[in-house]
Structure 1
């Protein structure tokens, strides 16, 4: 019998569990003034805690949002935005107990999918989460002028902190890219994930907005980090972009033109861009832009496999019968016929077998079936079946979320 209890938290336990999460990630809990700024983002709803003698020792939290899937439809999604275990309670089953309770709660509440950003890559696969989108870390060394003829009309203006907090949420809501993997940013997301940085470091973070013929259509949040030293006093700073979204190519080009024109800056760094980001093609010298890393971004978990499969569209190919295994949610186990005309449960022989985490990797179109088979994630498939699977699940653009939580 365990000496801890796993249950939903109460409103009175919001602050202690938030502090626990911050400490588990090796941070310092916020002072009262800063806590009040993010308090509305950390409610008891959707948060499961582990408790020993009434004290929190673990937290697994989430909030509701929606996910864009291939074809443009949206699915209700549980966004897992904070998981942590107190350092003296790790390796004792606390995390597994919380994740099991959370997944069954998601199923009970009717979420077809859940997703998270993983602090450690070895943890979440065993709970059925798979890497569904990837992100690029890029560096652009100045000078880096744009090519002649790049469409970059419009203007860019800088916002004050108050203007940014007021303006950017509505602007983001208007910019529906339709890209698989995109999520809605609910009201509770902004105070803790966007506004927090605007108040940090003495207000060093800035927000630039691009305005085109039809109004505001893009924004970038960034800050500047000095790189000069005693021995190199004239070295330019690094401009670091933390959030960049544009409704159209002209707005994207206009924002890059502005960011690359900021004076006294030697290099522009950005993490979390789509792997098909075109910034290098915009430059007169494309070598000035380098992708210096590609990392996992959104880890997706299919809670209701039939509902999730039915929500997206598929390419033109002969159907494939998938045999899906799910250790934690056994109701998902079964065979599914996936074709351009839709999805149905079937008793037919399977063309391939895979676990639910691998199905999540295929789901948004971010991976091809061949490498997944080579790694042993897909079994029982021949080359022709893998080609059909790719034709069905492939998407026109690479999936990307672009929102951290």
Structure 2
């Protein structure tokens, strides 16, 4: 802490929202017009906001959306952190550490066992106990020719849907899909409108010359959908041939996905379909007949997860196989997580316990690694091989991996 001026923490009230928006613009190098400012104020207004103040100067902030995150077998309340910034004039004075500590205190008080974020700088958040829990591919598809497939696409009709109608028509489908893949967020109508569809924004101000959001749905109106895609298009110009940018694609089956991808690739006057976030086990990569046409261009971490209450998080999720191991967990920030605990789970449907013990540890790990493997996306044995987890009992990592396993890899495509 800078001895000249002690920073104090307090809630950021509505009267300070303009100052909070300007601080975010300063820290993230944003150029905001009046509409952008209004949108950011609206987003911040619905969050829990912690401010680090130097006298009356807002020098740092951390906001949290209270969401429900799909984890194996259930959904758990989660503090989804956003607008985490410190003014460049107040770096290295303990502001971020203090705000994170206050966040853990509030999570405990409000019964939020998990916290998550999208890291603008991945080197920062590991020291606060966050681990990269989901990863995604960026995919480019050559759209100068029809998509070559190894399977027959779903024959149901495709129809365009007005974005304003999407929450009512697609909301239930999205919630049902949460049961099949951890790492996704439950959505209410407000979240759909503001964060997914941007219905509160200005669709004429399109980045990179892309047009307004389009929604295509598989299946007849009045019937449960088989899937949908959210996308934008750009005509040919100085940036090259026309392109399709896929924001989200969800399907109940591989044939349903094949029908949606075929539609996107077949849009006239475009030469590329680009998806910025797709699961590592996306069926597209297997049912595409020509992998030269469908190319993975990048792999990167997505959601960073923090187990604020490790016991509550671990006993709530489902387990694929029985496990009985002692884990020595290091967590300097949350003392209740720090120590040796016996994890006992009986497999699918059986109760799980997480109890302190003095027994010898089978595995030793930091809470950061516990966050990485919690959703089943990062094998514990790989963390052992990387020197980040210590295996004291031979085979313990594979036993824990078998229990953590999920049918589908966790995936987060939604950057809130």
- Counterparts in 2 of 1:108 and 1:129: CA distance versus 1, 3 Å: same
Question: What is the correspondence of 1:135-150 to structure 2 with a 5 Å cutoff?
Answer: 135-142=136-143, 143-147=145-149, 149-150=151-152
1:191-225 per-residue CA deviation (whole Å, 9 max, x = no partner) reads: 54234386345461322221326333433222234
Residue 57 of structure 1 is matched in structure 2 by 59
Q: What residue in structure 2 maps to residue 222 of structure 1?
A: 231
- Structure 1: how far apart are the matches of 2:338 and 2:88? 35
Cα contact 2:70–2:179 (8 A) shared by 1 = no
Q: What is the CA-CA distance between 1:183 and the residue it aligns to?
A: 1.5
Between 361-370 and 331-340, the greater mean CA deviation after superposition: 331-340
Aligned residue for 1:378? Answer: 389
Q: Closer, same or farther in 2 for the Cα pair 1:250/1:86, shift >3 Å?
A: same
Residues 1:10 and 2:13 aligned together: yes
Q: Give the Cα–Cα distance (whole angstroms) in 1 for the partners of residues 57 and 313 of structure 2.
A: 37
**Change in CA separation of 1:44 and 1:259 when aligned onto 2, cut-off 3 Å:** closer
Match of residue 90 from structure 2 = 89
Match of 1:327 in 2: 332
Question: 1:387 — aligned with what?
Answer: 398
> Which of the numbers 143, 155, 158 marks the counterpart of 2:157?
155
Structure 1 165/351 Cα, relative in aligned 2: closer, same or farther at 3 Å? closer
Q: 1:355 aligns to what? A: 366
Quick one: distance in 1 between partners of 2:192 and 2:9?
28
Q: TM-score, normalised by structure 2?
A: 0.87
Higher mean Cα deviation, 91-100 or 165-174? 165-174
2:70 paired residue number: 68
2:32 corresponds in structure 1 to 29
Say which is worse superposed, 338-347 or 35-44, in terms of deviation. 35-44
Deviations 1:238-295 (A, max 9, x none): 2211222234434322221111111111111111111111213333323211111111
Change (3 A) 1:44 1:268: closer
8 Å Cα contact 1:114-1:303 kept in structure 2: yes
Residue equivalent to 1:242:
247
1:5-404 correspondence runs (5 A): 5-31=8-34, 33-37=35-39, 39-43=41-45, 45-70=47-72, 72-142=73-143, 143-147=145-149, 149-164=151-166, 169=171, 172-173=174-175, 175-196=177-198, 199-202=202-205, 204-212=211-219, 214-226=223-235, 228-229=237-238, 236-341=241-346, 342-345=352-355, 346-404=357-415
Contact 1:150 1:282 in 2 (8 A): no
Distance in 2 (alpha carbons) for counterparts of 1:12 and 1:91:
27
Q: Is the 8 A contact 1:336 1:343 kept in 2?
A: no
Q: Secondary structure of the residue that 1:196 maps to in structure 2?
A: coil
Instruction: Using the TM superposition, name which of 53-62 and 116-125 deviates more.
Output: 53-62
> Could you say what secondary structure the match of 2:384 adopts?
helix
- Give 1:299 deviation, angstroms: 0.6
TM-score (norm 1): 0.90
- The 1:15/1:253 distance shift into structure 2, 3 A limit, reads farther
Distance change (3 Å), C-alpha of 1:91 and 1:224: farther
State the secondary structure of the residue aligned to 1:28: coil
Shift of 1:37: 4.9
Deviations for 1:38-68, whole angstroms, at most 9, x for unmatched residues? 6443226411111223222211011111122
Q: Secondary structure at the match of 2:96?
A: helix
Q: Distance in 2 between matches of 1:160 and 1:292?
A: 31
Please provide the CA RMSD for this pair.
2.5
Indicate if the aligned counterparts of 1:60 and 1:82 stay in contact, CA closer than 8 A: yes
- Post-superposition Cα deviations, 1:321-342, rounded to whole Å, max 9, x if no partner, equal 1111111011111222223322
Unpaired segments of 5 or more residues in structure 2?
A: 347-351
Unaligned runs of 5+ in 1: none
Closer, same or farther in 2 for the Cα pair 1:177/1:290, shift >3 Å?
farther
SS in 2 for 1:331: helix
